[in-house]
Each structure stands twice: as structure tokens, then as C-alpha cells.
């Protein structure tokens, strides 16, 4: 069995990825604690949850700007561009592989290359999470940070609607994180994809 290594993750991507993961985990944990504040289910006390959540949210905003402009001015942005030719067929092919092929030790239908870092399903998931749900969480978070100057000017229930979108976005990102961690274990070895964030090399076996 031969091993192939591709340098796929430059330093700025790896640094951003680690920072983004830490901030998202902090926001998820404190967000859940805020939902259950005043009960034994709260993981972090209300007082500390508010402070940590606000600080992590502000840092995530700057982290996202770093990601956005990084994709805008480097070749990494090409992986997030939509590809329409054969998209539906490719998505079902990848779904079949995840549902059946991977357990039969079949070869991945879309092997990772420098030109194709994501398979068709990953491309859709990453694009919507990074360009829809995270911006939505950040925008609604800032609106709730300054409710008097924005939300209350729209309507009396502006805070409720904004909070609802914030929670929906947070839930989607939380589910994405769980699935993302699971699929990270599906590599050449259970730990190879985690190592790639350290050394930048994606490892695959023939």
C-alpha cells in the first residue's frame, strides 16, 4: 500500500482553522449555557457565559474577515465556488459512497487533489456554512449586542426574530461541527486528517 501526501493546507488556513474551532466551541458551550441559565443544566454560569460569549463572538467576527479576505485574495477561494456541471449526479454518487461504498472499502469517487479539496457534498456544506450561516450568526449577534439602535427600530418583536435566526444559525453550525469531526476520522487513518491541520499535508493510501 503506497502513501501519497499533498500539501493542501497553508499556514494561514491551519491557524485560522484552529482559532475558528476554539471560538465556535466556546460559543456553542456558552450559548447552550445561556439557553439553560438558572438551571442545573447550565454548563457555565450565566455571568461568565455572557462575557465569554460576547468576547468569542467579537473575535469570531475578525476571524471570519480574515477567512473571507484570505479566500478572496488567495487560491483557496476556488474550492468554495459552485460547480454546476453534473452537480446533482456527483452529489448522489458521493452520498452513495458515504452510505455504502465506504463500508465496502471502495475507492472514493472524488479523491482529494490540490484542485479539488472538497468532494461535491463537502463543497455544498462548507459553502453554505461559511458564506450563509456563520455570517448570519455574526450579523444577528452584533444586532443583539446593540439592540437599542437597530432591532427596536424595526418592530416591537425585532429582538425575538433576530434571536430566532441567531439560534437557528448556531444549531446548524453545531450540527455541522459534529458531522465534520466524524468525517475527519474517515481518512487514511483515524488521525491522519487531524494531523494535516498540524503539518499541512493531506495523506491518502492507494
* CATH of residue 101: 1.20.950.20
Structure confidence at residue 149 (pLDDT): 58
Give residue 36's pLDDT band: very low, low, confident or very high (50, 70, 90). Answer: confident
Q: Read off the pLDDT of each residue in 79-96 and give the average, rounded to a whole number.
A: 90
DSSP the chain: --EEEEE---HHHHHHHHHHHHHHHHHHHHHHHHHTTTSTT-SS-HHHHHHHHHHHHHHHHHHHHHHHHHHHHSGGGGGGS---TTHHHHHHHHHHHHHTGGGGTPPPSS---SS-SS-HHHHHHHHHIIIIIHHHHHHHHHHHHSGGGTHHHH-TTHHHHHHHHHHHHHHHHHHHHHHHHHHHTSSSSTTHHHHHHHH-EEEEE-
**Segment among 49-58, 75-84, 175-184 with least mean pLDDT:** 75-84
Compute the distance between CA of residue 190 and CA of residue 28 in angstroms, rounded to an integer.
Answer: 25
Region 2-27: what's the mean pLDDT?
A: 90
**88-97 residues labelled b (16+ CB within 10 A) or e (exposed):** eebeebbeeb
What are the pLDDT digits (tens) for 70-83?
Answer: 999 999 999 998 88
Q: For the segment 155-171, what is each residue's pLDDT rounded down to a tens digit? A: 556 778 888 999 999 99
Q: How many structural domains comprise the chain?
A: 1
What is the mean predicted confidence (pLDDT) over 14-29? 94
Supply the range of the domain harboring residue 140.
Answer: 3-205
* Inter-residue contact 203 to 5 (CB < 8 Å): yes
Q: What is the pLDDT of residues 104-156, one digit of tens each?
A: 888 889 989 888 899 999 999 999 999 999 999 999 999 888 776 555 555 55
Query: For 96, what's the count of Cα atoms within 13 Å in the CB-facing half-sphere?
Result: 10
Q: What is the pLDDT of residue 44?
A: 78
The confidence score (pLDDT) of residue 155 equals: 58
Q: What is the mean pLDDT of residues 18-40?
A: 87
For the chain, give the percent of residues with pLDDT over 90: 59
pLDDT of residue 120: 93
Question: What pLDDT, on the 0 to 100 scale, is given for residue 46?
Answer: 83
Over the chain, what is the mean pLDDT?
88
Specify the pLDDT at position 69.
95
At residue 16, the pLDDT reads: 96
Whole-angstrom Cα distance, residue 71 to residue 16? 12
Amino acid at each position: 500500500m503506497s502513501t501519497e501526501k499533498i500539501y493542501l493546507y497553508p499556514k494561514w488556513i491551519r491557524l485560522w482553522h484552529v482559532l475558528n474551532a476554539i471560538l465556535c466551541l466556546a460559543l456553542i458551550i456558552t450559548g447552550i449555557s445561556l439557553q439553560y441559565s438558572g438551571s442545573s443544566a447550565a454548563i457555565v454560569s450565566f455571568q461568565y457565559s455572557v462575557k465569554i460569549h460576547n468576547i468569542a463572538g467579537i473575535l469570531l467576527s475578525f476571524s471570519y474577515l480574515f477567512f473571507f479576505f484570505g479566500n478572496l485574495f488567495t487560491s483557496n477561494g476556488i474550492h468554495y465556488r459552485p460547480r454546476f456541471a453534473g452537480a446533482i449526479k456527483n452529489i448522489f454518487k458521493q452520498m452513495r459512497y458515504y452510505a455504502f461504498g465506504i463500508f465496502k472499502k471502495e475507492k472514493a469517487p472524488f479523491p482529494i487533489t490540490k484542485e479539488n479539496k472538497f468532494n461535491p457534498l463537502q463543497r455544498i456544506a462548507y459553502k453554505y456554512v461559511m458564506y450563509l450561516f456563520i455570517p448570519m450568526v455574526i450579523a444577528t449577534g452584533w444586532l443583539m449586542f446593540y439592540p437599542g439602535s437597530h432591532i427596536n427600530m424595526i418592530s416591537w418583536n425585532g429582538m425575538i426574530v433576530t434571536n430566532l435566526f441567531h439560534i437557528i444559525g448556531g444549531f446548524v453550525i453545531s450540527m455541522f461541527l459534529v458531522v465534520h469531526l466524524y468525517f475527519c476520522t474517515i481518512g487514511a487513518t483515524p488521525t491522519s486528517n487531524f494531523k494535516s491541520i498540524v503539518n499541512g499535508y493531506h495523506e491518502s493510501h492507494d
